[in-house]
């Protein structure tokens, strides 16, 4: 904990749920507007992934002077380099679809898209404590995430299927329908257009 209302994450995986406003700072980005929203964050050298697991309002991800709203069922990967296919769609058993890679400027890149909340609940190690919630607050958070997953599935279920990169094929090519990149990955492509394409 940095100070009241702020966490700092340099490396590792973090599950966040706060009844109060909480900012999460990483070397590449900051996450704001998190009150009452469950988040998964994974930070490593040169990259940070933010996944919104619940909530009706978007969180704000700030990186390279851009403010990017991120709704429930959406994720963003921010890198200090052009993201690779394997970074965008890692072999972590999480289902993803509608991924768009964009340039943020200053050699930074981002990949925006959708992920399956249900696959996080069953596959992410940081979610194991919520698999069998021990306290009333854990039960409430688990129920909120399940409800959010069901709503996202109901509203967006008719879109393209989720793609899961299997661990044994981690170096394989990601299908074109999963990940789209701008032709030259330059700053001339509007950020807003790329963000709208992943909604």
d(CA 9, CA 150): 29
pTM of the full predicted structure? 0.83
158-170: per-residue pLDDT in tens? Answer: 777 888 887 765 4
Domain spans of the chain, in order of start: 6-182
Other Cβ atoms closer than 10 A to 153: 13
Is the pLDDT at 59 greater than 70? The verdict is yes
pLDDT at 157: 73
pLDDT at 161: 85
d(CA 141, CA 198): 26
Q: Which residue has the tokens 């981002």?
A: 110
Is the pLDDT at 190 greater than 80? The verdict is no
Give the residue from 50, 22, 31, 53 showing the smallest Cα distance to 142: 53
């Amino acid at each position: 904990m940095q100070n009241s209302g702020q966490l700092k994450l340099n490396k590792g995986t973090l599950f966040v749920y706060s009844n109060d406003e909480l900012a999460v700072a990483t070397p590449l980005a900051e996450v704001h507007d998190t009150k009452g929203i469950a988040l998964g964050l994974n930070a490593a050298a040169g990259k940070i992934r933010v996944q919104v697991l619940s909530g009706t309002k978007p969180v704000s991800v700030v990186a390279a002077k851009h403010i990017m709203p991120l709704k429930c069922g959406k994720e963003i990967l921010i890198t200090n380099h052009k993201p690779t296919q394997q970074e965008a769609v890692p072999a972590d058993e999480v289902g993803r679809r509608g991924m768009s890679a964009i340039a943020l400027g200053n050699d930074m890149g981002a990949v925006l898209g959708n992920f399956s909340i249900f696959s996080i609940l069953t596959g992410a190690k940081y979610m194991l404590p919520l698999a069998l919630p021990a306290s009333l607050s854990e039960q409430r958070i688990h129920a909120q995430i399940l409800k959010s997953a069901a709503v996202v599935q109901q509203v967006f279920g008719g879109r393209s299927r989720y793609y899961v990169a299997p661990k044994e094929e981690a170096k394989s090519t990601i299908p074109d329908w999963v990940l789209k990149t701008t032709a030259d990955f330059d700053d001339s492509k509007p950020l807003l257009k790329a963000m709208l394409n992943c909604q």
